[in-house]
Amino acid sequence: MKIGVLALQGAFREHRLMIESCGQEAVEVRKTSELDQVQGLIIPGGESTTIGKLMCEFGLDKAIIKRADEGMPIYGTCAGLILLTKTIIGSNQYSMGLMDIEVQRNAFGRQVDSFEVDLPIPVLGYKPFRAVFIRAPLIEKVAPNVGILAQYNGKIVFARQGNFLASSFHPELTGDKRIHQYFLQMVKENVN
């Protein structure tokens, strides 16, 4: 099983290392030919406008949407979540529109640039997950077919819709592999 990590900008190296530490092969994806080799894709955190622009420039936007329509699992973290979303509140920047969610960018304001919390995530088991938020977006609204996997202060920060998984926070920075393992399980189920 090969897992792609979109490597145009942002925190892609950390995701690659996490995938490898889970015992799977990771491929940095910058071209459509690299996307063709993978069975699942992670879109990392970074700057969503930059990643979106580069995706379109390299033809990866259409190629990713095609694979998504065919059922390939995709996990977006932070800026990656923004790129998966249908509605970005107050912005007309590019996004793929794959998840029926409404997202607010930089939702914690400038004062609270980044912080960490112990987040209960029932699908991962009893132990809370140390979640790192960096200029994070929030999911303000979800369609009925979107599953809410975690909330922080009453706001949605982790959600799944079929083959799409999205988190406001960065799970690749603390060494806790459970979210990457959860995503790998989605990929395994899709491949089998």
**In the complex, least distance from residue 126 CB atom to ligand GLN, rounded to whole angstroms:** 27
Q: How far apart are CA 60 and CA 31, in angstroms?
A: 7
The helix (H) or strand (E) run that includes residue 143 is none
Q: Which is nearer to ligand GLN, 47 or 145 (CB)?
A: 47
Angle at 101 between CA 15 and CA 189, to 5 degrees: 50
Phi, psi for 134 (deg, rounded to 5):
-130, 110
Catalytic center residues: 78, 170, 172
Least spacing, CB of residue 104 vs ligand GLN, in Å: 10
Shortest distance, position 36 Cβ to ligand GLN, whole Å: 26
40/171 with CB nearer ligand GLN = 171
Q: What six digits make up the tokens of 175?
A: 């060494």
| Closer by beta carbon to ligand GLN, 19 or else 134 | 134
Other Cβ atoms closer than 10 A to 22: 15
Interacting residues toward ligand GLN by CB under 6 A: 45-48, 78-79, 82, 105-106, 134-135
